[in-house]
Structure 1
Amino acid sequence: MSDPQPLPVATVDSPAAERDRPGPGTARILAGAGVGNMLEWFDWSVYAIFATFFAAQFFVDDGAFGAILSTLAIFAVGFLMRPLGGFLFGWVADRRGRRFAMTTSMMMMAGGSLLIGLAPTHAAIGAWAGVLLVVARLVQGLAHGGEIAASYTYVAEIAPRERRGLWSTTVYVSVTAGVLGASLVGAAAATIFGADELREWAWRIPFLIGGLLGVVGLYLRRSLEETAAFRATDATPTTLRQLAADLSRNRASLLRTIGLTAGITVVYYVWAVGISGFAISTRGVDPTHALWATVVANLVFMATLPLWGLLSDRVGRRPVYVFYGAAMAVIAFPLLALLNDSAVRMGLLMTVALVLMGAFNGNMPAYFAELFPTEVRASGVGIGSSLTVALLGGSAPYLLTWLSSRDLEWVFGLYTVVLALVGLVTALLSPETKGNDLR
């Protein structure tokens, strides 16, 4: 895959480098963006973490895997809206600004969370309970596609060029903080109320918290400044047709984001989001212990993310991605094979997977942003990554659970290896962008 035009190499005293240099209030702006990102990912993650507890509230419990599979299927359905969200909110971010798109998508996510937290159960309204769940997840999927498009772009554009990899790790630090917050609420609720109460009513707590926190996020994001890169461009697409034409001219970069995202998506949505629910429902891991193990693993993940960002700023984005792809292809099978009924072992395996994933996730906002020009950056980042996540991410917990119920977990391991190799090959065929100006 080759670009229509070579990517520019920055010089120290270039105008773009001066424009990208952070001002005195940049750290505060970056912190505000991260807090909003954390709140949105909290709302998105609680569904997967708590699915095993509320499944029987929305679907008939057949005593086997029926209710949980139906609930995970709706988790996958929500992902179908993410490409549309990436396209729509990417266009909005490229036309109206990054801040406007981030604020709007966050409020939609909070609204979906409130709907789930307040929804009547199957016992009260029958099949309509499942319909409400689908509607809420579709809204959240649309919002989440927009969040990726806008927030990745915002952080990459506000960061200094020579530390863009490091600053981009704040995106997944805040993402992980959202997942961690959801896990902490779950662990605390399990400790206080017990598994039975969680299944009856306490599962609503994190959804209601997530919805209410949207008000906090609204305040923080409305105070953000627009990026200098967006203010400096005068070529923003005014129509969707123009946007499609601009993206077509950058199709090589779109293909790269798709191939690279394929290498991480399944791994992320299993080991960062869905593994505790899987271990509880298929391995018999104690729910409280599983949730606390998830908390510890995510804390380690957050602590190591900046190290990957620093490494990519020093050696480049490509070598770090190549290392991830090769390493994941090697350990994908052992990770699943070693999982048993021990929460401690689950936590250790999760920690290994998460630390390795940091090589990819930590640098993704920087690398993807560096592949596109400013006028279509949010759209390109949002569409390429959201399309792949829609196809592979939402179905990952469902597919793993379904294959496990048929003693075919090895098939899922093979699936993970193949996708890791797709990401590896894409990285080898992609250009190095470390040090490039965002034009």
Structure 2
Amino acid sequence: MNAPTFASAPANASTQTSRAARTRLVMAAAVGNALEFYDFTVYAFFALVIGKLFFPVHDPVGQLLLAVASFGVGFFTRPIGGLLIGMYADRAGRKKAMLLTLGLMALGTAMIAVAPTYAQAGVAGPVILVIARLIQGFSAGGEVGASTTLLLEQAPANRRGFYASWQFASQGLSALAGALTGVALTASLSASQLESWGWRVPFIIGTAIVPVGWWLRRTMEEAPRESVAAQPKAPKIPLVTVLREHGRAVLNGLGLTIGGTSAHFIIVFYLSIYGVKQLGLPSWTAMLSGCVSGAILFIVAPIGGYLSDRIGRNKLAQTTRVLLMLAIWPAFALLNQSPTTGTLLAVVTALSIVHSLNVGPTGAMLGELFPRSVRATGAAIVYSLGVAIFGGFAQFFVTSLIVITKSAMAPAWYVIGCGTLSVIAVACMRERSRESLD
């Protein structure tokens, strides 16, 4: 299929300046987003240690359930953050919203870094931890809508998929950074040192590097390529407009998000815990698995975004989603039949490649569902709701299903079920890659 054609401006100094400004904007959005999600995802890689320190129950499975539940509790505030910060981004600007989310994430991460354990402060320790997770969830809920719409709106018409894909690629970078930090700490510290103070180091690092993201976002340019005056202003209450005039877009966006987020949290996060707790693999394999999946997402997601600009977003999203659904059950069967580190890494690699190609066009597809005046609100609502329900508690649901059903294949069926909803949603969406954004 031929690539889409768009009218292009002459290659003059103004065009070059605009291109340089957009490149810097992509860096600011991607790097800042990576810093945010590093703080958010590093918790998942230390869930086992945190569960032991903050939830001292005697049953290891119960301890794990409490740990992943505290990971998921941050997703309760994601829809609220997505709604409020999304509306703020539509009315006050994407840049201001992105600065707000970064500041909130820094606060939540700093609270985790200094939170006393249960042994040190009793129930106050878990309470502080949960409050910090709620703040982080609120921040992350608003981050995706603001940063994705900014990338989408500043992209050249024929590269929207590629530009928006960096939102998800930066999440891969954050997972890689968090896993590498975990590997370094696990390799250099004893188990007692890791439990005593080592687990705090990643959160201290996350707090310390937030000023870098703040500087990048504070100095980036937000001026749209089209005249701001030519665009309709955001309504006073964007949520009302989204629900009243774009109900079908909300449903399609939720379906699209459900499939991607369930696969993301199973492949990127849960598989590593599954290998350690269910298959008895060494604990360091969890960090190594996170490194592999994070690196692949960072590299391959932009390729998926680029391909969506060339062949169409819907075709790529549908093909890769079906491939992932077909591959997930044999992957878990192989892993249970041959529970080795090599098998785990091979499974993670194969699934991560397909998943990363699938999420590449997702950012553009979500943003293209809504007009500019309510785009940040609409994208934030559908993404944060889908992630909160089907992603945040994915590990808790799947762990519970394994305990209840005694079946090690529960994670595969979870991904297949959510993927089916995603396939239906994409089938109902119009292909927008060759249409004008606004």
Q: TM-score, normalised by structure 2?
A: 0.92
Name the CA distance, whole Å, in 2 between partners of 1:13 and 1:303. Answer: 28
In 1: Cα distance, 2:281 partner to 2:196 partner? 20
* Cα distance, 1:436–1:288 mapped onto 2, change above 3 Å: same
Is the deviation greater in 281-290 or in 419-428? 281-290
Aligned to 2:433: 434
Q: Hey, what's the Cα distance between the residues in 2 that align with 1:50 and 1:233?
A: 49
**1:32-79 deviations in Å (ceiling 9; x for gaps):** 211101100101101111101121111113142122211111211110
Q: Which residue of the partner structure matches residue 223 of structure 1?
A: 219
Residue number among 22, 25, 29 corresponding to 1:26 in the alignment: 22
* Equivalent position to 1:166, from 162, 167, 190: 162
Cα distance change, pair 431–276 in 1 and its aligned pair in 2 (3 A): same
1:22 and 1:160 in contact (8 A); partners too: no
- The equivalent residue for 2:381 is 383
Deviation at 1:190, TM superposition (A): 0.6
Structure 1: tracts of 5 or more residues without a match: 1-8
Question: What does residue 359 of structure 1 align with?
Answer: 357
Rounded Cα–Cα distance in structure 1 between residues aligned with 2:416 and 2:120: 44
Instruction: Answer whether contact 1:369 1:381 (CA < 8 A) is retained.
Output: yes
Tell me the distance in 1 between the aligned counterparts of 2:197 and 2:57. Answer: 16
- What is the one-letter code of the residue matched to 1:433? R
Which residue in the other structure is 1:3 paired with? none
Aligned AA (2:62):
G
Please show how residues 271-286 of structure 1 align to structure 2 within 5 Å: 271-286=267-282
**Is 1:47–2:46 an aligned residue pair?**
no
Q: Distance in 1 between matches of 2:158 and 2:242?
A: 28
* Cα distance in 2 for residues equivalent to 1:418 and 1:277: 21
TM-score (norm 1): 0.92
Distance in 1 (alpha carbons) for counterparts of 2:276 and 2:191: 11
Secondary structure at the residue paired with 2:197? helix
* Percent pairwise identity: 32
**Contact 2:172-2:296 at 8 Å conserved across structures:** no
Whether 1:199 aligns to 2:221 is no
Verify: 1:99 aligned to 2:95, yes or no.
yes
Contact 2:105–2:139 (8 Å) recurs in 1: yes
Distance 1:195 1:350, change over 3 A: farther
Residue number among 1, 12, 35 corresponding to 2:7 in the alignment:
12
**Match of residue 207 from structure 2:** 211
Aligned residue number for residue 368 of structure 2:
370
**C-alpha spacing 1:285/1:86, structure 2 compared with 1 (3 Å):** same
Shift of 1:11: 5.8
In the alignment, what sits opposite 1:251? Answer: 247
Aligned residues: 426
Residue in 2 that maps onto 1:239: 236
Q: Alpha carbons of 1:34 and 1:282: their partners in 2 closer, same or farther (altered >3 Å)?
A: same
Question: Contact between 1:35 and 1:174, CA under 8 Å: does it hold in 2?
Answer: yes
**More displaced, 190-199 or 40-49?**
190-199
Deviation at 1:114, TM superposition (A): 1.0
Alignment counterpart, residue 322 of structure 2, candidates 312, 326, 341:
326
Q: Secondary structure at the match of 1:23?
A: helix
CA distance in 2, matches of 1:391, 1:333: 22
Larger displacement relative to structure 2 (189-198 or 361-370): 189-198
What is the SS of the residue equivalent to 2:20? Answer: coil
Cα deviation for residue 172 of structure 1 reads 1.8
Query: Counterpart in 2 of 1:141?
Result: 137
In 2: Cα distance, 1:204 partner to 1:436 partner: 48
